[in-house]
Homo-oligomer: A and B are copies of this chain.
Amino acid sequence: MPDPPDESPVVHIVDDDPDLGDGLSSVLRSVGLNARAYRSTVDFLRADDLDAPGCIVLDIRLPGTNGLDFQAELVRLGVPLPVILMTGHGDIPMSVRAMKAGAVDFLPKPFRDQDMIDAVTAAINRDRLQRASEQQAVAIVDRYVTLSPREREVMALVTAGKMNKQIAGELGLSEVTVKIHRGAAMRKMGARSLAELVRMADTLKNRTR
């Protein structure tokens, strides 16, 4: 069920100038990268491999959409690919806004091929790191959702450092029952020690927040 082991990264180029898209594609392919060009954000969103590792190279001025707004849109849509922005008519406030929003880089046109290659390399690297921690976090959430409500309550108190006796008191249970839920939580979460369970709980907390 896991995807075919690490597909090679795809660079999605979104620019309404086909010459630039083609040129950039061949430059990136020349360094062994998989590149794909789109004429608009709509075309891009229709692509089927948005879940594959990679990054996005986005022109700021596009028909219909503003590149900066689209950057925010991507977050909203749950597309976590790192973004590199480029523009022919940008200014400093624009670039600052983009960087604040998490862009990997912001390149004024014309740029040197090497600069774009460096930016794309950095972006793909960032994506790789993101994916690694994301994947680990998802595995933990997957296990967490199999816990019953009571097991979750007990797990929360256990990882807060409380003793079984205290937990029993707070939840109005007997100590034995707490132990049962606690044991079930450990088993379902796949934690081989309390320390592991604590770290999993912290990972869960830092998600979505």
Contacts and interface: CB of A to CB of B under 8 A. Distances in A.
Given A92-B90, A92-B91, A106-B92, A192 B99 contact: no
A196 interface: yes
A207 interface: no
B162 A193 contact: yes
A109 to B, nearest CB: 10
A195 interface: yes
A164 interface: no
Given A91-B92, A198-B199, A202-B199, A193 B161 contact: yes
A191 to B, nearest CB: 8
Contacts of A100: 99, 105
A198 to B, nearest CB: 5
A71 interface: no
A41 interface: no
A199 B194 CA distance: 12
A92 B91 CA distance: 7
A96 interface: yes
Given A96-B105, A160-B195, A161-B194, 16 more contacts: A90-B92, A91-B92, A91-B108, A92-B106, A95-B95, A95-B99, A96-B99, A99-B99, A99-B100, A100-B105, A158-B195, A161-B193, A162-B193, A194-B195, A194-B198, A202-B202
